[in-house]
Amino acid sequence: MEQPATSEVSPPMIPSTLWELLLHIIIGTGIFVVIALASVALDFLVVWLSNKGVSRLIILGLGFAEYFLFVVDLWLFLVFVFKTARRTLQRL
């Protein structure tokens, strides 16, 4: 007796796709935090140097670098999260 052929469609890999999204967001957040901590450390350095009487131009340059580093870090983190979420939604 022959069994009829069944057309089984494998279920989508929703759990593994969501785990992958979660893993990417956790790792991306970790990288964001490390770079943001460098920006915070730069802020402490700027305050310390200004208390030591370092030239105002140096303080302004380091302050600009601090804010620039943080803004670029935040922007790239948001781009990463949105691209990763979009890719995950396309896979679902």
Which residue do the tokens 């490390």 mark?
A: 34
Per-residue pLDDT of the chain (92 residues; tens, 9 = 90+): 566 555 566 655 567 888 888 999 999 999 999 999 999 999 999 999 999 999 999 999 999 999 999 999 999 999 999 999 999 888 87
pTM: 0.75
Q: If 0-12 CB within 10 Å is exposed, 13-18 middle and 19+ buried, where does residue 53 land?
A: exposed
